A and B are shown apart, each in its own frame.
Chain A
């Protein structure tokens, strides 16, 4: 039987109430999956808005990925709340001075946007099944078609306009949602580790790299499972995007860190003690060296040597996995790190993650894994690959 709450050990001076961490590993997972949504949507928009043809093979898949993860974004929050049954209070009587009050509206709006875009994109597919399918599938697709089976050029061009418009709105939507998550932390003046104007931007750029990295891994994996060749042009494009955004992310994170150290406000001795001690492994080794520098070096090498074929696939996929780990560690180092530095500025705390607790490791792992399970189901229902999902030629 594990205790009711995690108790943090401490050194130095901490306020008595700080020995229980308010935000646990679930709040690490929350910005992580929100970020994956923003990143996946970015890739989808590169094709649908900016017309980058090389991303066509993953454009629809990226959108489905964004949807699956977005559906689970509220899950870690609900599991974390003391009274999840009251969660709607924040939507029904939003207290607008709170940075958190708008979350329900933002998230709700964005889920609707994603559902709409997916619906428009797969409408030709629904129409075909409604006309050619049998049994339950046919009935379901007829409902989904809303009694309109028009696939004429005119109708398709109308749909395309909607897809374009939704993708355009979705860019500030997805990025706004994630920048907003960064603001939740960056706007708190009680913690020096969080209180930074750069926090929303750092969150945003790391979100993009995590989403792109996730798509790389899932795309390569799906090609394996479907036994089709990986589109190397697409993969290389994703690798370029990853490389470019990683540069931004690294510079921004470096600037943020430099700001804290250089401004050296009250409590900097404790922060430096934290940086040189407990932060060495999770930040400098895992997040920075393994998760950021290594992928950049590997991808740079692949690009420089013009590597192609299996070596390119292996190199880029391995780099993407490292980036996913790095961004997870970034979330950890922000959310948990911020709480490990006492508000007294003169003490450090040590978070002990529980395993089987409601807010423990297993729950967090389940929350991250659930969207992947949903995605595995969804791609069977709505195949985002090849010609199946593209408009049938009009007769």
Chain B
């Protein structure tokens, strides 16, 4: 009996060694190839252990970030756009935005709204530069029936199409619900730019990689608010932890009838809107 047990143990040990050897060999092969193991570990381990985030005591398993937009409050001042550009060193032209604001204007006697954004020629002309943002006062003499602004940004979807299509896994969804891009691993194929139904992604020509809003991950992991939320003078942008019932975002979602953009895509966005109209694109 003892003998058979010993042989069983021996067999198990042997198999275990074999398994470990195979795992080591596999790891050595992949590590030897480009040293990617470290990279993968940085994504799959906890934020704290990986040491890849700004704060050492941040635990990404303890948060579930969410974003709210109260379109009834937005005044279209575009401070958010400017703050985002500065905070995140977004290329300073009219073709690369991590966040933007759309203006919807319904004129008397017309069925459909006039829609524009800060990148449109008329607004660039009003501001005098692609690096400054202003909505032209072009409707001052018109009979406006209804008008409102809609801030837009990455929706940090629960089922992000951009993450699905990334061939390398350079873009990924964090444990705390933020979709990020590893700029050192992205190959720049732009498949994700194509896949995003919201136009939230763009190709950063300076870095030659895909780029988009991170909800200012470098700030929120330090307990700060995203730059756009911080500068909004009217509180149209709301940010917080959905797992915390007392957070501004939880209250916003709980106390209002909110909706998301393009729910039919199945992406399950995490930017919740209040005060949208049927014509919002």
A residues contacting B by CB (< 8 A) are 4-5, 7, 13-20, 22-23, 77, 80-84, 86-90, 92-95, 97-101, 103, 184, 188-191, 339, 343-346
Contact = CB atoms under 8 A, between A and B. Distances in A.
B54 interface: no
Given A83-B186, A99-B165, A190-B195, A13 B115 contact: yes
Given A4-B205, A82-B186, A89 B36 contact: yes
Given A92-B33, A92-B34, 19 more contacts: A5-B95, A7-B95, A16-B199, A17-B95, A17-B96, A17-B193, A86-B187, A87-B187, A89-B36, A89-B187, A98-B166, A100-B167, A188-B161, A188-B194, A189-B266, A190-B196, A339-B194, A343-B197, A343-B199
B75 interface: no
A292 B145 CA distance: 51
A83 B205 contact: no
Interface string B92-124: 001111001010000000000001111100000
B97 A5 contact: no
Interface in B190-239: 190-191, 193-203, 205, 207-210
Nearest to B101: A16
Contact of A82 (B152, B199, B200, B208): B208
B97 A93 contact: no
Given A7-B95, A22-B203, A83-B188, A93 B168 contact: yes
Given A90-B168, A99-B165, A16 B191 contact: no
B229 to A, nearest CB: 20
Contacts of B197: 189-190, 343
Q: How large is the interface on B (under 10, 10 to 19, 20 to 34, 35 or more residues)?
A: 35 or more
Contacts, number: 142
B248 interface: no
A13 B281 contact: yes
B185 interface: yes
Contacts of A23: 190, 194
A98 B164 contact: yes
A92 B36 contact: yes
**Most chain A beta carbons < 10 A, residue from B164, B194, B200, B209:** B194
Given A89-B170, A95-B168, A17 B161 contact: no
Contacts of B266: 189
A101 B281 CA distance: 31
Given A83-B186, A190-B195, A191-B194, A17 B202 contact: yes
